Amino acid sequence: MTERKQEKKTNRIIRRIIKWIGLGLLTILLILALIFQAPWKIITLLAIILAACTVLPKQMRKWFWLGVGAVTLVYIIWVFLPEDNEGWRPYTFEKELAALEAKYAIPDEEHAAFAYDEILETLDTDSNQPEFFLKTTPSSRDEPWLSKDHPETAEWLKSHQVTIDKLIQVVQKDQYRFLPVNPIMHDKPVRDLYKISQCTFLLLSAANNDIAEDRIDAGIEKYLCLIQMANHMCQQPKTYQLINFQYERPILSLLNRFVIENKPTTEQLQRISNSIKGQEDNWGSDFIRILEYNKLAEKNRFCSLAYEVNQKGKVRLSRDYWIAAVGGAVFLNEISTPTYSQRKLNKARTIVNWFVYPSSPRKAAEILDRYYERFYAMAEPEYDWAKKTPQLPFSMYTVSTLRHDQLSYKCYARFTAVVSEKLYHFFHDEYLRILTLRRGSQLLIAIKQYHNENNTWPPNLDAIKSAAPAEAFIDPVTGNPLEYENHGERFSLYGETANIWPK
């Protein structure tokens, strides 16, 4: 009898310990949810469960848990009920996208996109590329070269003469932006960028060959064509300009080399100068366009995975979470159709999504808008770029978990904003560096013109003050004047972040 009492007492103690451990863990979860600003639905659910275990009278608790069991049973039944998914598609902000496209619309007769599309659709530079074109350095893209030294490359370029001629015609139009694309999977621009890079390499190779074989005007024409292509890339509504900068550097480098090491006429120098001046400092307008498009793309990226809409405009949580699970896919055809069990699991996930996602795509967009609002100040000339960017609120591992397990939309939005801010700072740095090279090229033209007239390099930059715009003498990265040194038979021109002509 005594042993039985002792056993009951021990069991009560164990149950009490388990109860208090459970309540303690529940309390800790609630506190953590408050600290890390979990969605209010999760906080409310934890508070209700904690209240049911402590405040609710004991005789009522069994009814509470019976209700929880009933709701769970209904939820399980709902998951396995058949459902008509016809007519549902990923939610996107189509009106906003249409408004953005209308805002930056280009009349067809002024738009180079159609001519580019015709070239890119038929371009095939993947087959039989000669080694001198393919290899990293030295290659036909890096320096002037003679056909007799590389006959295979010369013949190969001749086979693409039609493409080269069409490119020269395309750049007669000043404006070009990628035509409207799928706002979720930006596959067309990705493919276009690769082919545009191939067009750039074609023109670079052909121009270098022209210069080496004394077809100077033809070579200059192709170099200037490349400058205009760089200008076209700077008009894109995303940070594809970063990729353009990688193309513009070698173009400016080759132009500088031609200007200084050859004997261009005054007319040729003026043509080159006018082309480089066309690459104006348009940071404010360029950045606003990029910011508006990136913000909308980020909204579409999340909402197309989280929500669905039908033809009647009804919105619901997405049943196709399987698309989000593969996150890294660029093309839709890379994603396989989910199995029956995956579809049921995806449907079951919607209850989790309901707790952590905003109640509607509009709410999600408003949250992201608030994080992005401060970025508009970056377009202003007086913006302080020296201030540090904020640190990431959590590690990349946490973000990876967040993106796949959907812990908190606000955390995702905050992380996206911080990453974007760091990208914009990097983008601005690159923008200033390429602007330094453009200004340096203008000075080199003025320096060469001085040499043509005086048969000597200028003693200092004051000697060419009237031959170049005032801003061309300033390093945009530091705000200090560019440095010039006359070494007699040669000279140096450089800034703190750019070696324009070798020291």
**342-352 pLDDT tens trace:** 777 878 878 87
Domain count, the chain: 3
Are the beta carbons of 308 and 316 closer than 8 angstroms?
A: yes
- Which of 89-103, 106-120, 408-422 is predicted most confidently? 89-103
18 falls within a domain: yes
Helices (H), 105-148: 113-122, 131-134
Compute the distance between CA of residue 296 and CA of residue 293 in angstroms, rounded to an integer.
5
Residues 459 and 409 sit within 8 Å (Cβ to Cβ): no
Residues 135 and 24 in one domain: no
Average pLDDT along the chain: 81
With beta carbons less than 8 A apart as the criterion, state whether 476 and 436 touch.
Answer: yes
The verdict on 123 and 269 lying in the same domain is yes
Q: How confident is the model at residue 458, as a pLDDT? A: 96
Predicted confidence at residue 467, as pLDDT, reads: 92
pLDDT (tens digit per residue) in 50-73: 887 888 887 888 888 888 888 888
Higher pLDDT, 228 or 85: 228
Per mean pLDDT, which range of 1-5, 127-131, 322-326, 463-467 is the poorest?
322-326
Q: Are 252 and 301 members of one domain?
A: no
Per-residue pLDDT band for 359 (boundaries 50, 70, 90) equals confident
**How far is CA 457 from each of CA 132, 212, 446, 493, rounded to the nearest angstrom?**
35, 24, 10, 12
Asked if 295 and 275 sit in the same domain, the reply is no
Question: pLDDT tens digit string along 412-458?
Answer: 888 888 888 888 988 888 888 888 999 999 999 999 999 999 999 99
Q: What is the DSSP letter of 327?
A: T
How far apart, in whole angstroms, are the C-alpha atoms of residue 25 and residue 39? 19
Structure tokens given for 448: 């060469």
Task: Count Cβ atoms below 10 Å from residue 93 Cβ, excluding itself.
Answer: 19
- Enclosing H/E stretch for 499: strand 499-501
Strands (E), 274-419: 307-309, 315-317
For residue 385, tell me if it sits in a domain.
Answer: yes
CB 107 within 8 A of CB 179: no
Q: Report how far apart, in Å, the C-alpha atoms of 396 and of each of 164, 294, 391, 399, 401 are.
A: 45, 21, 12, 5, 9
The pair of three-digit structure tokens given for residue 496, joined into one six-digit string: 């703190």
Measured CA to CA in angstroms, residue 31 lies from 21, 48, 258 at distances of 15, 14, 68
Q: What is the rounded average pLDDT of the residues 205-221?
A: 94
Extended strands (E) in 85-217: 89-90
Provide the Cα torsion 403, 406, 407, 411; round to 10°.
50
Using one digit for the tens of pLDDT, what is the confidence trace for 22-50? 778 878 877 877 776 677 777 788 888 88
Predicted local confidence at residue 179, as pLDDT: 55
Distances, alpha carbon 176 to alpha carbons 116, 117, 227, in Å = 9, 11, 14
Assign 373 a pLDDT band (cuts: 50, 70, 90): very high
Q: Are residues 15 and 76 located together in one domain of the fold?
A: yes
Give the separation between CA 496 and CA 483, rounded to whole angstroms.
Answer: 9
Do 125 and 260 fall within a single domain? Answer: yes
- Same domain, residue pair 123 and 228: yes
Determine whether 159 is exposed, middle or buried from the number of CB atoms within 10 Å of its CB (0-12, 13-18, 19+): exposed
- Whether residue 190 sits in one domain with residue 231: yes
Tell me the mean pLDDT in the region 262-270: 92
* Model pLDDT, residue 392: 57
Mind listing the pLDDT tens digit for each residue in 383-409?
988 877 666 554 444 444 444 434 567
Determine which of 3-7, 136-140, 237-241, 304-308 has the lowest per-residue pLDDT on average.
Answer: 237-241
pLDDT > 70? residue 100: yes
How much is the average pLDDT of 485-499?
90
pLDDT for residue 296 is more than 70: yes
Give me the amino acid identity at 117: D
82 vs 503, residue with greater confidence: 82
* Shared-domain flag, residues 213 and 273: yes
Looking at residue 120, its pLDDT comes to: 81
Asked if residue 484 is part of any domain, the answer here is: no
Please report whether residue 352 resides in a domain.
yes
Let me know if residue 121 belongs to a domain: yes
Q: Does 373 share its domain with 407?
A: yes
How many residues are recorded in the chain? Answer: 503
SS3 of 117, please?
Answer: helix
pLDDT band at 331 (very low <50, low <70, confident <90, very high): very low
Is 253 inside a domain boundary?
yes
pLDDT cut 70: percent of the chain above it: 84
What is the arithmetic mean of pLDDT over 102-116?
Answer: 83
- Confidence band (pLDDT; 50, 70, 90) for 332? very low
Q: Given 219, 244, 279, which residue is the final one in a domain?
A: 279
Question: How much of the chain exceeds pLDDT 90, in percent?
Answer: 26
CA end-to-end span of the chain, whole Å?
100
Query: What contacts 146, CB < 8 A, 6 or more positions away?
Result: 209, 212, 213
Residue position matching structure tokens 């005086």: 454
The pLDDT value recorded for residue 240 is: 61
Q: Are residues 122 and 268 in the same domain?
A: yes
Residue 221: what pLDDT?
Answer: 94
Residue 204 covered by a domain: yes
| Residues of the domain holding 49 | 2-80
Per-residue pLDDT for 258 more than 80?
Answer: yes
Asked whether the predicted pLDDT for residue 97 surpasses 80, the reply is yes
In this model, does residue 232 exceed pLDDT 70?
yes
pLDDT at 400: 43
Q: Which of 218, 246, 279 is the last residue of a domain?
A: 279
E strand or H helix that includes residue 494: strand 491-494
Q: Is residue 502 part of a domain?
A: no
Q: Which residue has the higher pLDDT, 443 or 196?
A: 443
What backbone torsions phi and psi does residue 493 show, to the nearest 5 degrees?
-140, 125
Is 147 found in the same domain as 254?
Answer: yes
